[in-house]
Structure 1
Amino acid sequence: MKIVVIGGTGLIGSQVVALLRDRGHEVVPASPSKGIDALTGEGLADALKGADVVVDVSNSPSFDTEPALDFFTRSAQHLFAAEKEAGVRHHVTLSIVGVDQVPDYGYYRAKVAQEKAVRAGGVPHSIVRATQFFEFIGPVMDMSTDGKEVRLPSLRLRPIASADVASAVAEAALSEPSNGIRDISGPEVYGLDRLAEITLAAKPDGRTVVTDETAGLFAGMPDVLKGDDTVHVAPTRYEDWLRKH
């Protein structure tokens, strides 16, 4: 089976490519660096010739509302036009758990628009929604650091290893289209401030954590990012992942 992975050189995409190749499939990692750009449409027609499945794990370079909205909607427009021309049978998109319950966050509104475009795209589809990646915790801490203090809210998350996300996306690509949504998460719920404390206990650098409900990227966000009782739980624990990274 030929599978094209949009965003195939990124954190998730590169792992999806490796997993699918290990299963014996022909996999094309698509990215602007390889001359395949969903945002502009460049190279899509040639890349998708003979493709059975397209996996989209690309991401907007900006978290601001308008650039993110333009990225996801314009990429979807080009992708589905090329997919229908090529006869692609299944489109898989990676999204975010709780994304449609955070209307005040512009990046999430852009992802909701992407999901809407996927459902209207005319190609059988599967949407995999994941919680926040383990790899995201360190950068969030850095963005919320003021001197020697890491100021973060106690918002509850159920973070997940990117390897577990890639495995779920690869599984979706090899399955029949669900024309629906599957939520995936890590095994444990933490406050974001507690995640920072665990991180600094494992890798101390002189910073301390201050709980501040008004601070950082997730300030004021509703308690919807951990998923509900129907979420599929991946096995990797954050503390175990930290010891290896």
Structure 2
Amino acid sequence: MKIAVLGGTGLIGSQVVKLMREHGHEAEPLSPANGVDLLTGEGLDQGLKGADVVVNLTNSPTFDDKSIPFFRTTMENMLAAAERQGVGHAVILSIVGVDQVPGLDYYKAKVLQEEILKGGPVPWSIVRAGQFFEFMKSVLSWVVDGDNVHLPSTPIQPLASAEIARKVAQVSAGKPLNDVVNIVGPEVFPLDELGRIALAAKNDPRKIVTDNTAGMFAAVEGDVLTGPAGSVIATQTFREFLAAQN
């Protein structure tokens, strides 16, 4: 099977390419580095020529309202090229609970991405994932006041990027679902507690201050970022992940 992976050099994409190749598939990472530009459409037809599956793991360079036209343009370009080239399956990576956070522009943009895929001409699959464990490093830099890191107590169900990549690879190698599959970690944490665990593991002396007005997830209400019924549950815990980093 030939699989074109847009964003195939990123955190998830590089792992997906490696996994697909290990399982005997012809996986090709596509990016501006090899002449494929999703925003302009340049190189897309050549990149998708002969592909059975296209996997879109690209991300907007910003998390504000500019992400909305980014996902609209890139998805329309991808689907048009995929239809021209006869690609039989399109896969994207999205976010658990993405359609239940109307206060975040980035989440609105990801919902738009999903809707364009669902309404497009190519059979599709969507993998919605919880937050990445690797994401905590950037979270701890969001709202900092001296030695204090402000985080809300928003419940999340995070997991390792490696487990997300495995699910994306599995879905990509299968038949189109024309549906959404959710994958989350084995534990639910308030975000502020997760921050304390991360700092303690690194002997970081900074203090987490619970602040439900701080950062991107302040706009999230309830437990919508935890896995819905029927979610795939990953196996590695956050503490296991942190221990493996040392």
TM-score above 0.5: yes
SS at match of 1:219: helix
Pairing 1:244–2:234 present: no
Displacement over 4 Å in runs of 4+ = none
SS at match of 1:213: coil
SS at match of 1:29: strand
Partner of 1:188: 187
The residue type paired with residue 178 of structure 1 is: L
The residue type paired with residue 155 of structure 1 is: T
SS at match of 1:5: strand
Instruction: Give the whole-Å Cα distance in 2 for the aligned partners of 1:33 and 1:11.
Output: 16
SS at match of 1:94: strand
Deviations 1:36-85 (A, max 9, x none): 111110110111110000001110001011x2011111011111111011
SS at match of 2:208: strand
Pairing 1:213–2:212 present: yes
Instruction: Give the whole-Å Cα distance in 1 for the aligned partners of 2:160 and 2:71.
Output: 24
SS at match of 2:140: helix
Instruction: Give the whole-Å Cα distance in 1 for the aligned partners of 2:168 and 2:214.
Output: 32
Partner of 2:23: 23
Partner of 1:174: 173
The residue type paired with residue 108 of structure 1 is: Y
Partner of 1:226: 226
Correspondence 1:1-245 to 2 at 5 A: 1-65=1-65, 67-223=66-222, 224-245=224-245
Instruction: Give the whole-Å Cα distance in 2 for the aligned partners of 1:129 and 1:227.
Output: 9
Structure 1 residue 131, shift from structure 2 partner: 0.7
The residue type paired with residue 240 of structure 2 is: D
Instruction: Give the whole-Å Cα distance in 2 for the aligned partners of 1:94 and 1:220.
Output: 22
Structure 1 residue 139, shift from structure 2 partner: 0.6
Structure 1 residue 214, shift from structure 2 partner: 1.1
Structure 1 residue 244, shift from structure 2 partner: 1.4
Deviations 1:134-179 (A, max 9, x none): 0101111111221101111111000010000000000000111010
The residue type paired with residue 44 of structure 2 is: L
Structure 1 residue 104, shift from structure 2 partner: 1.2
The residue type paired with residue 49 of structure 2 is: K
Instruction: Give the whole-Å Cα distance in 2 for the aligned partners of 1:37 and 1:15.
Output: 21
What percent of counterpart residues are identical? 52
Of stretches 220-229 and 232-241 in structure 1, the one that deviates more from structure 2 is 220-229
SS at match of 1:127: strand
Deviations 1:103-143 (A, max 9, x none): 11100000000000001111000000001100101111111
Instruction: Give the whole-Å Cα distance in 2 for the aligned partners of 1:220 and 1:36.
Output: 35
The residue type paired with residue 11 of structure 1 is: L
Structure 1 unaligned runs (5+)? none
Instruction: Give the whole-Å Cα distance in 1 for the aligned partners of 2:239 and 2:144.
Output: 21
Structure 1 residue 5, shift from structure 2 partner: 0.3
Structure 1 residue 204, shift from structure 2 partner: 1.7
Deviations 1:78-101 (A, max 9, x none): 111110111101001100010001
Of stretches 220-229 and 104-113 in structure 1, the one that deviates more from structure 2 is 220-229
Contact 2:101 2:219 in 1 (8 A): no
Matched residues, number: 244
Of stretches 102-111 and 33-42 in structure 1, the one that deviates more from structure 2 is 33-42
